[in-house]
């Protein structure tokens, strides 16, 4: 592995960006593989899969290549799935204490700490702190927020608390990290979200455009935008694709700055910015997809959450994409909330309470949609795929579609889909060889139809 890291480091290939980090013993700094600085001697280098591990070892992030801005990578791939879920919960729930996260994992907090220490060498508390500091550093470099706002957005109770931890871990204060004074606008934020090339933007763009909800979403030649909600918090974002710089330039408006990190997590998932396109391509070739048919840089085009994905899947049962799109827009037009010329996708409770008579479809499917909305309103985050299967009218295909687009699950295989069946026979694909990346095989075969 060290030899592979060495070759990747010297190549400065952007496809390896975010997959590992390079710590230089003589300077005490760690960098991305694409750092423009002169490469150090190999005997002065240490490699880490996570930036958090380098920080734990006492290295501070480079101000030139900015490890905080590297594409995120599932560096825990191949380890205990409990560790994977735990890291995601730590990242996505900055205000939830460690014991509650361990409870959600079905383990004790002591065992959770032992798992993380064994697999990545960092405790849950340290991982969360480093995650907060890296995010704060990114905002200080890129954003227009005050230090106090950066502290709130990254989960610190005050600017002083942020400054104390930043100085202790990185050796720099927030003021030193921020190169110049910026105009502060608490409502409008701008950040960049990087990805590893290639990125099949034309496919993602067209897929989203065909399924776009009017007045909620907007798709242009080079951007995707939508209105969003976090409970009572309202927001909006536009992500503009930049192929040359390998990132999305994201503009954001948000009522509550504390929801910024969860929003960016959602955007990364919707645009699938964390996947490894070279690994995916290799899996597709192994499954039997011809090299000339491969969509280079294929991603999973996600939706906001599993409830929205479920509504799309139920409305799409036994009808064409065009007909499903019309039903979806009718649902949002009659049930979705409208505020200040902005429309938002309806909540589970709004759908559960609506008569749904405007939806021109069989009453049995209308009832399925209502029961699904009632279930999601009652159980919220506790809902699971097995629970959905207990609802009348929801079968394995519907649940799989909800997981594919609502959770961006990487290994969803829609083998009962009619288009997929035809493509398997036509191209003689062996799906199992693409595991655990069969969601991408599903999308690849859809694109070839």
pLDDT value of residue 276: 86
425 within a domain of the structure (yes/no): yes
pLDDT for residue 146 is more than 90: no
160 and 193 both lie in a single domain: no
Q: In which band, very low, low, confident or very high, does the pLDDT at 94 lie, cut at 50, 70 and 90?
A: confident
pLDDT (mean) for 103-115: 89
The model's pTM is: 0.80
pLDDT tens column, 214-225: 999 999 999 999
Rg over CA atoms, the chain: 23
Residue 40, sorted as left (phi over 0), alpha (psi -120 to 50) or beta, turns out to be beta
* Beta-carbon contacts of residue 424 (< 8 Å; ≥ 6 apart): 415, 431, 445
- Residues, the chain, total? 449
Q: In which band, very low, low, confident or very high, does the pLDDT at 186 lie, cut at 50, 70 and 90?
A: very low
CB 216 within 8 A of CB 295: no
pLDDT value of residue 14: 72
295 within a domain of the structure (yes/no): no
119 and 200 both lie in a single domain: no
Residue ending a domain, choose from 124, 153, 177: 177
Structure tokens at 16: 């390896």
pLDDT for residue 183 is more than 60: no
Provide, rounded to the nearest whole percent, the portion of the chain with pLDDT above 90: 51
User: Please, what sign has the CA dihedral across residues 111, 112, 118, 119?
Assistant: positive
332 and 418 both lie in a single domain: yes
166 and 246 both lie in a single domain: no
93 within a domain of the structure (yes/no): yes
What is the domain extent for residue 208? 188-265
**Which of 117 and 15 is assigned the larger pLDDT?**
117
pLDDT tens column, 265-311: 999 999 999 888 988 999 999 999 999 999 999 999 999 999 999 99
User: Please, what sign has the CA dihedral across residues 447, 266, 83, 65?
Assistant: positive
Q: In which band, very low, low, confident or very high, does the pLDDT at 177 lie, cut at 50, 70 and 90?
A: confident
State the chain's mean pLDDT as an integer: 88
Closest CA to 208 of 443, 445, 449, 448: 443
pLDDT value of residue 163: 93
pLDDT value of residue 383: 58
Residue ending a domain, choose from 16, 39, 69: 69
282 within a domain of the structure (yes/no): no
53 and 98 both lie in a single domain: no
Distance CA 179, CA 193 (A): 20
DSSP-derived letter for residue 16 is G
pLDDT value of residue 193: 92
CB 105 within 8 A of CB 112: yes
209 and 325 both lie in a single domain: no
Q: What is the DSSP string of 237-252?
A: EEEEEETTTTEEEEEE
355 within a domain of the structure (yes/no): yes
353 and 430 both lie in a single domain: yes
Number of structural domains, the chain? 4
403 within a domain of the structure (yes/no): yes
313 and 440 both lie in a single domain: yes
CATH of the domain at 434: 1.10.340.30
pLDDT for residue 116 is more than 80: yes
Please list the active-site residues: 417
CATH of the domain at 46: 3.40.10.10
């Amino acid at each position: 592995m060290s030899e592979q890291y060495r070759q990747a480091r010297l190549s400065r290939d952007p496809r390896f960006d975010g997959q590992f980090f390079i710590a230089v013993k003589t300077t005490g700094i760690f960098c991305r593989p694409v750092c423009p600085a002169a490469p150090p001697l190999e005997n002065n280098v240490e490699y880490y899969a996570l930036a958090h591990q380098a920080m734990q070892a006492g290295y501070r992030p480079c101000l030139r290549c900015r490890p905080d801005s590297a594409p995120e990578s599932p560096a825990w791939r191949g380890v205990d799935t409990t560790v994977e879920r735990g890291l995601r919960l730590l990242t996505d729930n900055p205000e939830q204490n460690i014991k509650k996260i361990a409870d959600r994992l079905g383990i004790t907090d002591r065992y959770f700490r032992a798992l993380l220490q064994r697999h990545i060498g960092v405790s849950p508390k340290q991982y969360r702190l480093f995650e907060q500091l890296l995010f704060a550093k990114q905002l200080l470099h890129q954003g227009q927020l005050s230090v106090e706002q950066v502290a709130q957005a990254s989960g610190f109770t005050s600017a002083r608390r942020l400054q104390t931890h930043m100085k202790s871990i990185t050796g720099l204060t927030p003021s030193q990290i921020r190169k110049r004074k910026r105009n502060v606008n608490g409502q409008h934020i701008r950040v960049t979200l990087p990805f590893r090339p290639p990125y099949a933007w034309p496919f993602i763009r067209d897929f989203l455009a065909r399924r776009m909800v009017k007045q909620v979403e907007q798709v242009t030649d080079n951007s995707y935008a939508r209105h969003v909600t976090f409970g009572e918090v309202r927001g909006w974002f536009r992500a503009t694709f930049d192929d040359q710089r390998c990132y999305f330039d994201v503009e954001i408006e948000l009522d509550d700055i504390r929801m910024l990190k969860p929003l960016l997590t959602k955007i990364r998932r919707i645009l699938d910015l964390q996947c490894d396109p070279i690994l995916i391509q290799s899996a597709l070739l192994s499954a039997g997809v011809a090299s000339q048919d491969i969509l280079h840089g294929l991603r999973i085009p996600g939706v906001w959450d599993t409830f929205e994905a479920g509504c799309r899947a139920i409305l799409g049962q036994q009808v064409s994409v065009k007909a499903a799109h019309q039903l979806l827009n009718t649902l949002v037009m009659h049930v979705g909330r409208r505020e200040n010329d902005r429309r938002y996708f309806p909540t589970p409770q709004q759908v559960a309470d609506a008569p749904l008579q405007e939806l021109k479809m069989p009453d049995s499917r209308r009832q399925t949609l209502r029961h699904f909305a009632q279930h999601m309103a009652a159980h919220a985050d506790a809902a699971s795929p097995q629970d959905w299967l207990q609802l009348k009218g929801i079968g394995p295909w519907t649940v799989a579609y909800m997981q594919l687009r609502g959770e961006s699950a990487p290994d969803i295989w829609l083998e009962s889909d009619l288009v997929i069946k035809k493509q398997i026979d036509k191209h003689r694909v062996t799906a199992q060889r693409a595991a655990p990346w069969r969601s991408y095989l599903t999308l690849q075969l859809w694109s070839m139809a």
